[in-house]
Amino acid sequence: MLIKTRNDGFIHPASSEITPQAVYAGRRDLMKLMATGAAGAAMATWAGREALAQSAPGSGKLAPLKGAKSAVAGAVTMEKITEYKDASTYNNYYEFGTDKADPAKNAHTLKTTPWTVEIEGLVKKPGKYTLEDLLKLSAQEERIYRLRCVEGWSMVIPWVGYSLAELIKKVEPQPGAKFIEFVTLADPKTMPFVGSRVLDWPYVEGLRMDEAMHPLTLLTFGMYGEVLPNQNGAPVRIVVPWKYGFKSGKSIVKIRFTDKEPATAWNKAAANEYGFYSNVNPNVDHPRWSQATERRIGEDGLFAKKRKTLMFNGYEAQVGQLYAGMDLKKNF
């Protein structure tokens, strides 16, 4: 069944006829295949899926940072990749303002060189690691992850980095280390809103050790084949694709290993709204709105239907067992 005619003249079949998790072609040759009705067959083949998973072009202005295709299960979604211009102009980075357009306008003041990340706490090899040390520590991979913001929108972004587990193994946590705290930059000289009272600065996030060690948790240096734009958390951030976006701290300066659950910025600001876990969960509403559906950035046209939000943002097969036996309504 053909469901809609795009204004570029191409026609594509209902996504339900392709894969459950909807594939919207990103490449012209595939669009042509679709127009001829061969889409279903093409999608079913690995070649077709691979073509769809190609990363979209970046800015063309930032330094290239390419990653090899990742072998981590779940590291690639076949959904259409969000346009670079959307992913880099619709942001949450409160240090640069609370409006979605603010970070892209203001984050040019962020000074990303030199950059060091301090590793401290319950770890055998603490110390200051330069960005260069971190970049060299493991091979860069490209991971195409969905990122679902707690506010009800989502994107699909080709991130570049490697599993945080690689770094954790290198610095050798002590047996007592149960959690990791991520402290992000809070520099009032370059970040105009660090003085604001919305949050307690610095922006702090945290993960349980097994979450931090999960191969999907990405220590991220780039996106769309280039280094991260400042507004997306340059020069290094975390991306945890099964949790609400605010768990993915930007511009990290300190990683602390601890025996206690870290006090995180959003949990401190509103504990009844933002839990420590914050796993994407369509069955647990935010106190002020439903989490059952989401809006995909870039699909805001006349025909755009809201998408159903998936348990663990679609990564349940990979991460569900981390929470076996836990009451996810209580531990939201």
Ligand X SMILES: Nc1nc2c(c(=O)[nH]1)N[C@H]1C(S)=C(S)[C@@H](COP(=O)(O)O)O[C@H]1N2
Contact footprint for Mo ion (CB under 5 A): 92, 149-150, 245-246
Cα–Cα separations (whole angstroms), residue 237 to 26, 228, 233, 326: 27, 9, 6, 28
Closest by Cα among 31, 23, 27, 30 to 6: 31
**Considering only residues 26, 58, 67, 249, which one is a binding residue for ligand X as defined by CB under 6 A?**
249
Contacts of 64 (CB under 8 A, 6+ apart): 225, 226, 227
Amino acid at the residue 243: K
Task: Confirm or deny that 91 is annotated as ligand binding.
Answer: yes
Least distance to Mo ion, CB of residue 86, Å: 15
- Could you tell me the two tokens for 287? 């106190």
Report yes or no: 275 and 288 within 8 Å, Cβ to Cβ: no
Contacts of 122 (CB under 8 A, 6+ apart): 173, 174, 176, 177, 257, 258, 259
Q: Would you say 90 or 257 has its CB closer to Mo ion?
A: 90
**Considering only residues 80, 214, 250, 256, which one is a binding residue for ligand X as defined by CB under 6 A?**
250
Task: Confirm or deny that 250 is annotated as ligand binding.
Answer: yes
- Closest CB to ligand X: residue number: 245
- Which of Mo ion, ligand X, none does residue 194 bind (CB under 5 to 8 Å by kind)? none
Cα–Cα separations (whole angstroms), residue 316 to 39, 216, 240, 252: 28, 12, 13, 27
Q: Which of these ranges, 28-36, 104-112, 247-255, 318-326, lies near ligand X under the rule CB under 6 A?
A: 247-255
Q: Would you say 15 or 89 has its CB closer to Mo ion?
A: 89
Residues 67-96 that bind ligand X (CB under 6 A): 91-95
Least distance to ligand X, CB of residue 153, Å: 8
Check whether the bond before 235 is cis (ω within 30° of 0): yes
Work out whether 115 is an interface residue with ligand X (CB under 6 A): no
- Could you tell me the two tokens for 9? 């003249």
Distance CA 221, CA 164 (A): 11
- Could you tell me the two tokens for 135? 């970049």
- Which of ligand X, Mo ion, none does residue 201 bind (CB under 5 to 8 Å by kind)? none
Report yes or no: 182 and 266 within 8 Å, Cβ to Cβ: no
Work out whether 211 is an interface residue with ligand X (CB under 6 A): no
Q: Would you say 91 or 217 has its CB closer to ligand X?
A: 91
Work out whether 184 is an interface residue with ligand X (CB under 6 A): yes
Closest by Cα among 15, 7, 9 to 305: 15
Q: Which of these ranges, 136-144, 244-252, 253-261, 307-315, lies near ligand X under the rule CB under 6 A?
A: 244-252
**Considering only residues 42, 62, 149, 212, which one is a binding residue for ligand X as defined by CB under 6 A?**
149
- Which of Mo ion, ligand X, none does residue 309 bind (CB under 5 to 8 Å by kind)? none
CA angle 156, 157, 160 (to 5 degrees): 150
Task: Confirm or deny that 249 is annotated as ligand binding.
Answer: yes
- Which of Mo ion, ligand X, none does residue 203 bind (CB under 5 to 8 Å by kind)? ligand X
Work out whether 224 is an interface residue with ligand X (CB under 6 A): no
**Considering only residues 163, 220, 248, 309, which one is a binding residue for ligand X as defined by CB under 6 A?**
248
Residues 256-285 that bind ligand X (CB under 6 A): none
Work out whether 147 is an interface residue with ligand X (CB under 6 A): yes
CA-CA-CA-CA torsion sign (82, 87, 91, 93):
positive
Task: Confirm or deny that 95 is annotated as ligand binding.
Answer: yes
Residue ranges of the annotated binding site for Mo-molybdopterin are 91, 94-95, 149, 184, 232, 237, 248-250
Q: Which residues bind ligand X (CB under 6 A)?
A: 91-95, 147, 149, 184, 203, 232-233, 245-246, 248-251
